[in-house]
Amino acid sequence: MTSSSKYPVTPDGRYFVVAGRLWRTSNPALVPDTRQVLVGQLMTARRQVGAAKKAGDAAAERAARAAVDAAKRSLGERGPVWWTDGAPDYNRRLVVNTPYAAWYAALQPAPLAEGLQ
């Protein structure tokens, strides 16, 4: 995913931005086949969350949410960071409150001058 896509990715590839918030990307070192299996598990678990909520089954929902968390941890999106340079984790933080603020601000379109609309 590039900076021009719907969800811009930070220059270091560690996060993508949704609604001004950073979300950790999957570990790029994962073997593609492994990544595909894990994404499949994540999607299955997410469907199970929805089904459990619809059924009003709290125990099944808890189990499904635990499966979502396990898949996300395996993908590197949660838990210990996948990079090794000691940089802190800004997952789920507002991008304007992180070192990525200037990069993100530069992506935003300039406001139209009043009267030129």
Q: What is the pLDDT of residues 38-79, one digit of tens each?
A: 999 999 999 999 999 999 999 999 999 999 999 999 999 999
- Written as one letter, the residue type at 44 is T
Total domains present in the chain: 2
Flag whether 66 is in a domain: yes
Nearest one of 14, 6, 2 to 95, comparing CA atoms = 14
Flag whether 43 is in a domain: yes
Do 42 and 61 lie in one domain? The reply is: yes
pTM over 0.85: no
Q: 60: domain range?
A: 29-76
Flag whether 10 is in a domain: yes
Do 8 and 41 lie in one domain? The reply is: no
Q: How far apart are CA 70 and CA 44, in angstroms?
A: 12
Do 35 and 14 lie in one domain? The reply is: no
Do 69 and 43 lie in one domain? The reply is: yes
Q: How far apart are CA 68 and CA 29, in angstroms?
A: 20
User: pLDDT exceeding 70 applies to what percent of the chain?
Assistant: 89
Do 33 and 72 lie in one domain? The reply is: yes
Q: How far apart are CA 63 and CA 39, in angstroms?
A: 17
Do 65 and 99 lie in one domain? The reply is: no
What Rg do the C-alpha atoms of the chain give, in angstroms?
A: 18
Flag whether 115 is in a domain: no
Q: Which residues of 70-79 are buried (b: 16+ CB within 10 A; e: fewer)?
A: bbbebbbbbe
Flag whether 116 is in a domain: no
